[in-house]
Structure 1
Amino acid sequence: MSLERIILVPGSIELVSSKDELNYQEVLDDFPNAEYIFVTTYNISAKRNHLLDLLKDSAEHAEVRIVTNIPNHYDTYYSDSAREKAKDSIKNYTKRLNSNEIDGVATFYHFDNHTKIVLTNNIAYIGSANFSDESMNNRETGTLIRDPEKVKLIIENLVPLIEDEGIQYFGDIFNKKQIILSKLLSDMMSITDSMKEGLFTYVGRFEENEVYNSRDPYVSPKKLNQLCEILYEFDEEINDLISVTGHDTFFESNIISNLETARNLCEEESPIYELAFFDHQDFACELISDELSYYDELDEATEIASQRAFDRHEELAEVAEPDVNELYNLIEVITDEIIRFVDELEKLHDQQQAIDNTKR
């Protein structure tokens, strides 16, 4: 093995040249201590897993990001053999670097990339060696930077430039999430429209004004429970998107807090829940048994109990009105946010298609 070192700045920067070993081994040795790891390489090992396993293991305690080209990937293919070769290479790369299967590792494809960097937040290597086991077979030369402040400058200035020129890869998660969110949105709109028929009435010459039905509103307990379940499902799907993709679109939204507020308006002991689960007949029957001790006639007791049940229902309706209005305002906001998410997911899914450009 041969590793030559030339000190450029004592204790800070040195030139390393090697054959038969990885000249960024010191960076790999720092992986267990790192909070941040970035790798950009022309290619990765086609079959060997040692270096990728180091990234996967490090993702348990560090933010890990990798940018790579895909050998044999071209803008245009002039022969079937070139297209098939590219297809095999793309398939292998996307399978090995599928972020759906490598928790905590963000993958980018940059088809004009020939830069090689391996760094942590403590130490950086910039040189000729790819992030592949095969690189140790070649004479590779690069610079090791041990000054965390200088490494920080690379992370803040060079890394974003390289990532922004690439395409972040998420597998097929966007397509799946787009379908799931669209289905949940359709179900939510159907349920809330159905509930609205019992909660609101329409006045005006052309019934153009929507007014809360304060005297006799109706909320289906089944529909309310279904709405609550959908709001929970939305929360799970959006949180899944945030944790898996880390895409800015999902961090900028207030949808998580809006979903929580909407759920609170629907859940047990809320005014809307009390209104939905109020049973006029049961309430009246309980009163009748009490009223019989004061009234000789059952009809008289029934009439009084029925009136009190009606009054109680009207009371619940009055208490629930602000929450009903708030809920429907939130539903409008959530609907707009989900539509925006679905549109963004479609764009990102379409962007992913540029990675595999071998389809005719």
Structure 2
Amino acid sequence: MTVERITVKGGDNMKKEFLTADAKFVYSKNELGYQEVLDNFENASEITIITYNISEKKNALVSALRKVKKHCVVNVITNIPSRWEAYYGDTFRNKAKQKINLYLSKLRPESLGINSKVFFDFSNHGKIVMTDCIVYVGSVNYSEESANNTEFGFISRDKDFINYINSEVLPDVQASAIPYYEYDYTALLLEASMALSVVYNIKNELYEEVYRLHDDVDGEWYYYVEHEASLTVATLDKVVQIVSESCKVASDIYDAIDTITNGDEDEIIAANDVYVELLALYSKIEEVRSFDTLIELSEFDSEEYINQQLQEEYAMEAYEDNLENCIEMASDEAMSIVWDLTQGAKGDIDELIEEVQKFCEIYSSLIENLRAREIKKISPKIDNT
């Protein structure tokens, strides 16, 4: 049961306290005091490791993080022993270099999982091993070697305490730590590629609503559908919506190129020209989609029209013996309207499809611009040797 929370700040000094009655004391020797937490890893949706050091020669604990559920969030914050703010002699510098390289090699976020975040805090000496269900706070580092030591700590399953660490402690520690990557645009590249795929798909969906495949002994070709009002409002709206959302991702790509190139003027101008062209194409797509020819064709419903004609124009004639004849006349009228609408809309439909295709091609070039670059960079502040 939670008793009390206290936060005391004064200048750069800070102390946070959380009192709980739901905790047990753990005194360990020749085994890890947080084994209960490790046992919960396979069911965890979030794991947090705060440690002074990790194992240098052994891999079981780090490997355990690679075996968690695919979408488990993994937070690792560690110090690096032997790394100093300044080095007096090559011996200390070389030792620090080896340690830094070891930590960078073992703790690559992508090797730990798709939702992993790794930070380095060179003032940290605290130790927390936690999942979303159980937490250990004590003296044991996240290293196999710690099992050989005499260690003390507490284990708690207090949900309020766990939430408190996630909301109050973890953000504070991360804020003063150095992230593994100064930037990492792997996720952005994937998002952009998926966005491009979605634009291609909606373009194909639009095309297949108004064109049909002819396939027989004469060969294969697509022909424009003139006898059916198959264009839908939903597809037209999706075209505009999807292209609009893709432009937002394109804006993030522009910002990424700005960061990666350190604001290189020529690079930024070139990327901006492409982005502006995409926005112009989006405006054109939005404009064409609102043409009366497309609106009228997409909103016309032949069945509804026939029913309306039978109720309004042929109500007096559509008695039982003449009903089939009235339906045929109303159907002919609907077909004539469809013919006129499809003929009037063809040029605008083709223009819309062409503009979306242009958007795909320009968007693809922007993605390739990002793909050709170093999309992630290890924070240079980590290795100070």
TM-score (norm 1): 0.54
Provide the rounded CA distance (Å) in 1 between the counterparts of 2:90 and 2:69.
39
Q: Which moved more, 1:95-104 or 1:122-131?
A: 95-104
Does 2:182 match 1:155?
no
- What is the distance in 2 between the residues matched to 1:149 and 1:335? 49
Give the Å deviation of 1:88.
0.7
Q: 2:75 maps to which residue?
A: 65
Match of 1:354 in 2: 381
Q: Taking structure 1 as reference, are residues 261 and 27 closer, same or farther at Cα in structure 2, changes over 3 Å only?
A: closer
User: Which secondary structure state, in structure 2, belongs to the residue aligned with residue 101 of structure 1?
Assistant: helix
In the alignment, is the contact (CA less than 8 A) between 1:119 and 1:125 conserved in 2?
Answer: yes
Is 1:137 matched up with 2:148?
Answer: yes
What is the Cα deviation at residue 80 of structure 1? 1.2
**Retained in 2: the 8 A contact 1:40–1:117?**
yes
Deviation at 1:155, TM superposition (A): 1.4
Match of 1:88 in 2: 98
Q: RMSD across aligned C-alpha pairs, in angstroms?
A: 4.1
1:40 counterpart residue number: 50
Q: Tell me what 1:208 maps to.
A: none
| Residue 256 to residue 357, structure 1, CA distance change in 2 (3 Å) | same
- 8 Å contact 1:265–1:323 — kept in the other structure? no
Aligned residue identity for 2:54: I
Counterpart residue identity of residue 108, structure 1: F
Structure 1 counterpart of 2:351: 321
Moved more, 315-324 or 121-130: 315-324
- Secondary structure of the 1:57 match is coil
**1:26 maps onto 2:26 in alignment:** no
User: What is the aligned partner in structure 2 of residue 264 from structure 1?
Assistant: 201
CA displacement at 1:163 relative to structure 2: 2.2
TM-score of the pair, normalised by structure 2: 0.51
* Per-residue deviation, residues 51-88 of structure 1 (Å, max 9, x unmatched): 12222222446322211111122233221111111111
Equivalent residue number for residue 288 of structure 1: none
Aligned to 2:189: 238
Corresponding residue for residue 109 of structure 2: 99
State the Cα deviation string for residues 150-205 of structure 1 (Å, max 9, x = none).
2122112211222232233259x959x6xxxxxxxxxxxxxxxxxxxxxxxxxxxx
- Find the counterpart in structure 1 of residue 134 from structure 2: 123
Contact 2:74 2:113 in 1 (8 A): no
Give 3-state SS (helix, strand or coil) of 1:143's partner: strand
Letter in 2 for 1:263: Y
SS of alignment partner, residue 58 of structure 1: coil
Q: Say which SS state the counterpart of residue 100 (structure 1) adopts.
A: helix
In the superposition, relative to structure 1, how do residues 322 and 91 fare at CA in structure 2: closer, same or farther (>3 Å)? same
Identify the residue that residue 293 of structure 1 maps to in structure 2.
Answer: none
- CA distance, structure 1, for counterparts of residue 195 and residue 383 of structure 2: 37
Q: Do the aligned partners of 2:178 and 2:379 also contact (CA within 8 Å) in 1?
A: yes
Q: What do the CA deviations read for 1:293-314 (whole angstroms, capped 9, x no partner)? A: xxxxxxxxxxxxxxxxxxxxx9
The answer to whether the 8 Å contact 2:20/2:161 transfers is no
Structure 2 CA distance for partners of 1:334 and 1:148, relative to 1, 3 Å: farther
Q: 1:15 to 1:265 in 2, by over 3 A?
A: closer
- Structure 1 residue ranges without an equivalent (≥5): 1-7, 178-235, 240-249, 275-281, 284-313
1:327 CA displacement:
5.1
Call closer, same or farther: CA 1:59–1:94 in 2, change over 3 Å. farther
**Structure 1 residue 101, shift from structure 2 partner:** 2.8
Distance of aligned partners of 1:263 and 1:51 in 2 relative to their CA distance in 1, 3 Å threshold? same
Letter in 2 for 1:33: N
TM superposition shift of 1:43: 0.3
Query: For 2:90 and 2:71, how far apart are their aligned partners in 1?
Result: 44
* Aligned equivalents of 1:33, 1:262: Cα separation in 2: 37
Distance 1:59 1:83 in 2: 38
Q: Is the contact made by 1:17 and 1:139 (CA closer than 8 Å) also made in structure 2?
A: yes
Alignment map for 1:201-350 (pairs within 5 Å):
238-239=189-190, 255=192, 258-264=195-201, 267=204, 270=207, 317-326=347-356, 328=358, 349=377
Partner of 2:121: 110
Report the counterpart of residue 182 of structure 1 in structure 2: none
2:165 aligned with 1:165: no
Secondary structure at 2:66 match in 1: helix
Q: Could you say if the C-alpha distance between residues 74 and 320 of structure 1 is closer, same or farther in structure 2, counting changes exceeding 3 Å? A: farther
